[in-house]
Amino acid sequence: MKETKLDYVDRTIIKMLGDDARTPLSEIAAELKLSRTTIRKRVNKLMKSEAFRIVLVPIYSKEFGGVLTLYLNGSIEEVVNFLKEQEACKQIYTNSEKEKNKIICVIFAESNESLGLIMSRIVQNSYIVNWDFSKISNIEKMI
């Protein structure tokens, strides 16, 4: 599998689409001061790479969710096993050999309140030293 190097433009595209997958390419182009064609080419390249998988997550029948990135100081296996026990964790990604201390978890809950409680429980794990959360906006129910 070919490793994809992400620059500032790629990371910004992923962030903006992660916040709202329906963001128009023209809006992303304006934010980055690039042409819409350049953004479209970048998005197409990202869609073929592993990097974009996080943004294109399946939609579950629950309304509230997001991508939780966890930074670890300790056993990745123990944290992955802990996350597998959490019903709200629908997908778990671990990074390459280069970034052994990072896990990405896609979580969904029935309300913002329960999402907050789930995240609180997860980030209190003693191996997690830092975390970041990107809410997935405008989730439509699909079964």
List pLDDT tens digits, range 71-129: 888 778 888 898 999 888 888 888 755 566 888 888 888 777 888 888 888 888 888 88
More reliable by pLDDT, 128 or 30: 30
Q: Give the pLDDT band of residue 137 (cuts 50, 70, 90).
A: low
Q: Is the pLDDT of residue 38 over 50?
A: yes
Q: Look at the domain 8-54 and name its fold.
A: Arc Repressor Mutant, subunit A (1.10.10)
Residues in Cβ contact with 79 at an 8 Å cutoff, skipping those fewer than 6 apart: 70, 72, 103, 125, 127, 128
Q: What is the pLDDT of residue 65?
A: 80
The residue behind tokens 């997958």 is 21
What average pLDDT does the segment 56-68 reach? Answer: 60
Going by pLDDT thresholds of 50, 70 and 90, the confidence category of residue 4 is: low
CA–CA dist 61, 64 (Å, integer): 9
Amino acid letter, residue 105 = C
Domain range summary for the chain, segments of one domain joined by +: 8-54, 64-135
Please state the pTM of the whole predicted model.
0.51
CATH tag for 64-135 (out of 3.30.70.920, 1.10.3720.10, 2.60.40.420, 3.90.1150.10): 3.30.70.920
